[in-house]
Amino acid sequence: MQTFILFIGTIILVIGVKLIYDARIIVNKYFSVSNKNGAVMFLKVLGTLCAIAGAILISKNWGTII
């Protein structure tokens, strides 16, 4: 079970980092909003929260595996 949670945490962390670095590309490709800067900021904040959640999951379960 700890390995599964570690895997999920890693995937959430990767998704968060991807949202942070490619937010403008994602907004231009998938969304047609008039306020692109607001959408980019929202995706970056969402990516930061995902990265933090993934890092917490990894750090809490890494000690139980070792």
Token pair listed for 26:
């994602």
| Count of domains for the chain | 1
Q: Provide the 3-class DSSP secondary structure of residue 34.
A: coil
Residue position matching structure tokens 């809490």: 60
Supply the pLDDT for residue 7.
93
Q: What one-letter code names the amino acid at 43?
A: L
Tens-place pLDDT, residues 6-33: 999 999 999 999 999 999 999 988 888 7
Supply the pLDDT for residue 34.
84
- List the domain range (segments joined by +) for residue 35: 2-65
The helix-helix angle for 2-21 and 36-65 (nearest 10°) equals 150
